[in-house]
Amino acid sequence: MNMLKPERIGLEDFADQPVNICGKAFIAHKFGALYWPSERALLVSDLHLEKGSAFASRGQMLPPYDTRDTLRKLAILIDRYQPETVISLGDSLHDSAGAARMDPVDIESLHILQEDRDWIWITGNHDPKIDRALAGYVMEEVVIGGITLRHEPKTGAATHEIAGHYHPAARLVFHGTSLRRPCFVGNRLRLVMPAFGAYAGGLNILDTAFEPLFGSDGLDVWMLGHEGLYPVAPRLLRDD
C-alpha cells in the first residue's frame, strides 16, 4: 500500500476526496460512501447485510459479524457528516429474508442511526423487497437535484446518474507488487459506487461489463485505501 500513501500529515487528512458529477460537488470517502453537501445526503451502495448468515445457511461458514461491521462504518460516517438523509442504492440486504436473520441488537442499532433523519432504501436485484422492520422509505429509484439515484446503472451511455450493482474494483501493479482495491469509477457525467458491505467482492473496472457505461470517454478512478482515498490515473490500471 506504500505506493498509494501520501506524506503523513494526519490520519484523516486524506480520508475523502472531492468528486464532481454533472457540475455538482460531492465528497467520496475511503469507506466507499458519497456525501452530497448541498443536499445533506449520505449515499452508500451494496451493503449486503446478512451475507454471512446467508452463506452459513448453505453450509459455508463465515464470521457472523458483517452486518455489525457495516453498521459500525455507517455510524462513523453519520457522525462525521451529520446527514439529513441517508440513501442506500440497492442490495442493502444480501437477500429479501436478510432482515429476518438480523440480530435484534443490529436492528436496534440501525433504528438509532435512522433517528432524526430520512432513510431511503433503493431496491436492488438481491432485495426487491425491504422488510418493514428496517423502517425508512422504499423506492425503486429517486431523483434529487437532477441526479438519478438507482441500483443498476442504465444500459449504455447515460448522464446524471449515480448507481452501484457492479462492485467496481481497480488493480495496479508496481515493481512486481499487485494491489487490488474497491473503487469509485466515473466520467464526471455518471458514477458507479463501490460496494460498502463487509463481504462484498469486486469486479475489475477494465472488465467488458463497464464498457457500455463509459465507452472510451476516459475514466476518473478513486481507490479505497486503509488510510485514505486515492485518485488513480487510468493508464496505471491492469486487468486481473
- The domain spanning residue 213 has which CATH number? 3.60.21
Considering the domain boundaries, does residue 119 fall inside one? yes
Considering the domain boundaries, does residue 224 fall inside one? yes
Q: How far is CA 39 from CA 83, 86, 164, in A?
A: 8, 10, 19
Q: How far apart are CA 103 and CA 100, in angstroms?
A: 8
- Average the pLDDT over 170-190 and give the result: 93
pLDDT band at 8 (very low <50, low <70, confident <90, very high): very low
Considering the domain boundaries, does residue 207 fall inside one? yes
Considering the domain boundaries, does residue 10 fall inside one? no
What is the predicted pLDDT for the residue at 9? 46
Would you tell me how many other CB atoms lie within 10 Å of the CB of residue 178? Answer: 10
Structural domain total, the chain = 1
Considering the domain boundaries, does residue 213 fall inside one? yes
Considering the domain boundaries, does residue 4 fall inside one? no
What is the predicted pLDDT for the residue at 1? 45
For residue 110, is pLDDT > 70?
Answer: yes
Structural domain span for residue 78: 16-236
Give every CB contact of residue 193 below 8 A, 6+ residues apart in sequence: 32, 34, 43, 44, 45, 46, 89, 162, 163, 164, 168, 184
- Average the pLDDT over 7-20 and give the result: 74
Considering the domain boundaries, does residue 128 fall inside one? yes
What is the predicted pLDDT for the residue at 61? 60
Considering the domain boundaries, does residue 21 fall inside one? yes
For residue 143, is pLDDT > 70?
Answer: yes
